[in-house]
Structure 1
């Protein structure tokens, strides 16, 4: 890996990549934060998938579930009288790829071969640019101007999915071969740093790689927070840029969103995962991201991710001895609404998303994590059939119903938060 060289030699040049002038960050708290919510939108790829619409013969337009999620966030934003002050999409916004290999990897000498194994991997799709990306944009238009938000590219939001000919599929053993992704032109066409969503917004404070990495500062009451969005398997340059952002906003409690980070078992994914291997030496798998960036900055207290169907949670200690709370949720595999419509076995999502309710003004700060379906209009704990519907689908059939529900409805005690960032009454 080259990250140590990159971080050590970037110096002032790293800071020039920021999108606004440098200024030292003030303390995060000048008074009460008040209770507030951060909305976390997990993988929406199955809502946006062109195959899951009436025009393709599906029983209903799955995109309507996605639109309803975004509309609900806008309706419950602080600006509309609700308590949601920030929203983050953790990637895999749409489903399909648009080219076999992106020009950057081709120019660097990478080779590709076709690879079956799944409909998504069989070939690029013209519907990605013609339908799926426009639908994704329309969803974000429902929250634009109502609250600060972030969106990161997941592996499905890259332009290309390609297979390394040196590690081909082996049908006789069922091995899918080693795949890799690359290219951001599609993502940048929708969510670049110059898009109408972000250009000129005071809360959109920095960007890198055309907006594939970005930073936002959001407020709740008299408190400020930093959010950093990192692209899938963030390359060395992305981590160097992010370190510069942390330095610029030193002292602000910081949340990081990235697509692939945590598994259902609470462990970070390693490059040994054959379906997500690191072929490009510039890229970093989740464990590398922890080692080279997250664990090195004490103000990062939380990491949010998706990618893996189900839920995951863990607490690790960074190099300063402080806690980092790592939370994963991905509901794209759920299909009760499809089953009810006569399309049993199809994966949609059923409108489920995460709501993280922060309470930072008391002696014991905490986050109440809840899971809500904008389709059913209920929290997970309000549906008696919740575990029956989803436990096996989320590959957690061995859990009791009560233990399964606890993975979607729980409280995080931020035991060292006041020590790190300042207690109430101490700006």
Structure 2
């Protein structure tokens, strides 16, 4: 039988992969010939094991079935590929681009479970031990038979709990020794790896549940030899058809693990197993409604039995992504010109089931057991830094969802008299401007204003300073800082909402006598706006020293995410910042001050040729204007 039929038979009989050790010493279920000796890799000196436990980027190395390298009863043993992978893992622990913090082996370390095979496995793993590398192992069906009540075996003698007694990451084992727990440090937190036996009994599952219960705030990665299998034929997919993101399913034993351990333990977010081939993955919702990513990785059917191939899970908590790649360090260590054609093909595996990315909002995914700390609101007085000429915030003034009405006042907390008054475009709905509890997580005031404005037809409610507000006359010759927070909703539309201003100064360029390159005679003298198609923040202003504008452009801002925007001028140059990071398009031309015609400022409103032409659509949080340049550490987001 071939393809699905063969794998289906083996899977249903719990004898998948290349058979079981129970078939007899030295016997392969598929009649495969084990690998023979091959060219050595680079060998040589190995660097220190020195991962960075605080970096937000780190790597988990995963090594699946290496059984064909260890068939001692047939006098066929080759440690070289696996040892080269171990050297790579150790060397790249101290590489900031890799930062490998842990290695998980997924079982089937040997083909025959023979003591002679495990003697060689012991020598290979001694390389990891000698350098203090952090790792875990599980028993596969070629390493043991029966369940975790089997008693002593060459596997247990070689890779049982006694091997990890001095390991800093070892967190314990169950009474049988076949189920172990490991805790590694990465991204400033602890992560728990559960390494479960080929077949776990009731006591094993009870132990695993207790370990998780004893570490209630640790994300858990579950490793076992058998959890999910690939449900496609490797002769067809992924080259001709199929979904690379959902091509695996729970095996019969995997269903047991799901029911007994995974489903009710929300801390388990990733499972890894070997045993079956080809590689695949799927995502299931647990009882809490959260994703559990379930992956199979196995290359024993590849050239040289996989040759100690490893999969690298590159966690990036800054980007909320896990980037996955599959490489063969043993082949990569060989001189490219000396590699055989087969070796060259297997130096990297780049198909969609072996080289991919997973989007995970780690903070949100872990929030059920690691509550997201809410930064408390800060008193307004604390944000009134020297030179503050206006500070508007929207907390404690109205019930969320209730509207603001025309003529209503929002006080300027700087005390300089730049209060805002609500103004409405005729014909606008009563709820076009409402109080909101939404806010940027680092915003001092835990509230915002929700604008529901736009054009075609013109509608909306905005705010304006008074006719005699001191801010109207301010020209900021010595520099300035303008800060605010903004969020666009999903229904934001380029045609209806593009170029709406968060903050603008009335008075047209033409009325102020401005002219020259890039000058639009009808546009306002100052505007912090969101462009059309790209939702890019733009600060367009007419300085005192030029008759034409200076324009700062940011990158596209996604909807439903809060953004902090800041504009800083030091008296000579103007810089736009998004989330305290300077944007690429900050012109170097000299830009001193802001031209004024003594007219009011608008929040959420924009005029053209002296008339309101669009009102903002989205939420606006705290706004602060200071008459001097601030450093990023002085921004409203400063911790």
CA RMSD of aligned residues (A): 3.4
Cα contact 1:387–1:405 (8 A) shared by 2: no
Alignment correspondent of 2:524: none
Match of 2:169 among 203, 206, 209: 203
Match of 1:137 among 119, 122, 145: 122
The structure with the largest helix share of the pair is 1
Deviation at residue 84 of structure 1 after TM alignment: 0.6
Cα contact 2:82–2:330 (8 A) shared by 1: no
Structure 1 unaligned runs (5+)?
A: 1-30, 98-127, 162-179, 272-284, 336-346, 391-401
> What is the CA–CA distance in structure 1 between the aligned matches of 2:330 and 2:173, rounded to whole Å?
34
Alignment correspondent of 1:245: 211
Cα contact 1:159–1:186 (8 A) shared by 2: no
> What is the CA–CA distance in structure 1 between the aligned matches of 2:329 and 2:100, rounded to whole Å?
15
Structure 2 unaligned runs (5+)?
A: 1-52, 232-246, 334-338, 376-639
Is 1:374 aligned to 2:329, yes or no?
yes
Is 1:76 aligned to 2:128, yes or no?
no
The Cα offsets for residues 214-245 of structure 1, whole Å up to 9 and x where unpaired, read as: 11110014121111111012221111100000
Deviation at residue 88 of structure 1 after TM alignment: 0.4
Cα contact 1:263–1:269 (8 A) shared by 2: yes
> What is the CA–CA distance in structure 2 between the aligned matches of 1:160 and 1:416, rounded to whole Å?
37
Further displaced range: 148-157 or 61-70: 61-70
Cα contact 1:227–1:255 (8 A) shared by 2: yes
The Cα offsets for residues 195-221 of structure 1, whole Å up to 9 and x where unpaired, read as: 2x3113332112114421011110014
The structure with the largest strand share of the pair is 2
Alignment correspondent of 1:13: none
The Cα offsets for residues 226-279 of structure 1, whole Å up to 9 and x where unpaired, read as: 1111101222111110000000000111100000111113444444xxxxxxxx
Aligned residue for 1:140, secondary structure, equals helix
Cα contact 2:59–2:98 (8 A) shared by 1: no
> What is the CA–CA distance in structure 1 between the aligned matches of 2:371 and 2:151, rounded to whole Å?
44
Deviation at residue 95 of structure 1 after TM alignment: 1.0
Alignment correspondent of 2:291: 323
Alignment correspondent of 1:355: 312
> What is the CA–CA distance in structure 2 between the aligned matches of 1:239 and 1:316, rounded to whole Å?
20
Match of 2:260 among 292, 297, 304: 292
> What is the CA–CA distance in structure 1 between the aligned matches of 2:152 and 2:63, rounded to whole Å?
21
When the two structures are superposed, what TM-score results if normalisation uses the length of structure 2?
0.43
Cα contact 1:44–1:349 (8 A) shared by 2: yes
Alignment correspondent of 1:282: none
Alignment correspondent of 1:17: none
Further displaced range: 318-327 or 182-191: 182-191
Match of 1:409 among 355, 379, 386: 355
> What is the CA–CA distance in structure 2 between the aligned matches of 1:386 and 1:159, rounded to whole Å?
34
Deviation at residue 71 of structure 1 after TM alignment: 2.1
What aligned pairs does 1:39-78 form with structure 2 within 5 A after superposition?
A: 39-50=61-72, 56=75, 62-78=78-94
Is 1:220 aligned to 2:166, yes or no?
no
When the two structures are superposed, what TM-score results if normalisation uses the length of structure 1?
0.63
> What is the CA–CA distance in structure 2 between the aligned matches of 1:293 and 1:181, rounded to whole Å?
19
Cα contact 1:79–1:147 (8 A) shared by 2: no
More RCO (CA 8 Å, sep 6+)? 1
Cα contact 1:66–1:139 (8 A) shared by 2: yes
The Cα offsets for residues 95-136 of structure 1, whole Å up to 9 and x where unpaired, read as: 114xxxxxxxxxxxxxxxxxxxxxxxxxxxxxx11x200111
The Cα offsets for residues 370-399 of structure 1, whole Å up to 9 and x where unpaired, read as: 001112218xxxx9x889968xxxxxxxxx
User: Which has the greater radius of gyration?
Assistant: 2
Is 1:151 aligned to 2:137, yes or no?
yes
Q: Would the alpha carbon gap of residues 295 and 75 (structure 1) be closer, same or farther in structure 2, given more than 3 Å must change? A: same
Q: Would the alpha carbon gap of residues 224 and 50 (structure 1) be closer, same or farther in structure 2, given more than 3 Å must change? A: same
Aligned pairs, how many?
300
Aligned residue for 2:166, secondary structure, equals coil
Deviation at residue 426 of structure 1 after TM alignment: 6.4
> What is the CA–CA distance in structure 2 between the aligned matches of 1:319 and 1:357, rounded to whole Å?
27
Match of 2:223 among 257, 270, 276: 257
